[in-house]
Amino acid sequence: PPKGSRVRKGTSTQEGTPQAPVRSLSEQLSYLHAPRPFKNPAYTKNAGRRAKNVKAVLAQERERARAAAERMAVDGEEQDMDPLTYLSIEAPPSVVPAKHYCDITGLEAPYTDPATGLRFHDKSVYELIKGLTTSAAREYLVARGVNPVVK
């Protein structure tokens, strides 16, 4: 076909009768202009609200705690109590048992050597523990922060 003989979108092959533009597949499947009944038509975004980062929130909490410390009376009682802050929340002790870790490998340790008190992961580590000297076992216990009493 000669150059320029292609039919363009929106034009007709016959004079005077316009042809409807062909929509692409992405336009046909688009939900852009579909009605959204779940959205509130009266909603307006609060443009004056500014999002704060963690650093700003923590700085405000420190300032609030400092101001509360200044309001302390001479006898040590607070005059008016602020609500709980990030810095003042105290949690009760956990009801989940603490995890124990192997003194040699650092993996979880379900077993404890009765002679030395060292925690171990599996039987290969137990074989190593049985071969340790008393002073070496004591050093492992000191590293864990236990008062070593080796039998």
For 14, other C-beta atoms within 10 Å of its C-beta total 7
Regarding pTM above 0.95, the answer is no
Structural tokens at position 130: 């049985």
**Nearest of 82, 80, 86 to residue 59 by alpha carbon:** 86
CA dihedral sign of residues 19, 22, 28, 31:
negative
pLDDT given for residue 17 in this prediction: 66
Residue 4 backbone zone (phi > 0: left; psi -120 to 50: alpha; other: beta): left
Angle at 54 between CA 52 and CA 60, to 5 degrees: 75
Output helix, strand, coil percentages for the chain, rounded to the nearest 5: 25, 5, 70
pLDDT given for residue 52 in this prediction: 83
- By mean pLDDT, which of 6-15, 56-65, 67-76, 82-91 is the weakest? 6-15
Q: What is the DSSP letter of 78?
A: B
**% residues pLDDT > 70 (the chain):** 74
53-81 pLDDT, tens digit each = 888 888 988 898 888 777 764 445 555 55
The amino acid present at 94, given as its one-letter code, is S
pLDDT given for residue 74 in this prediction: 46
100-144 pLDDT, tens digit each = 999 999 999 999 999 999 999 999 999 999 999 999 999 999 999
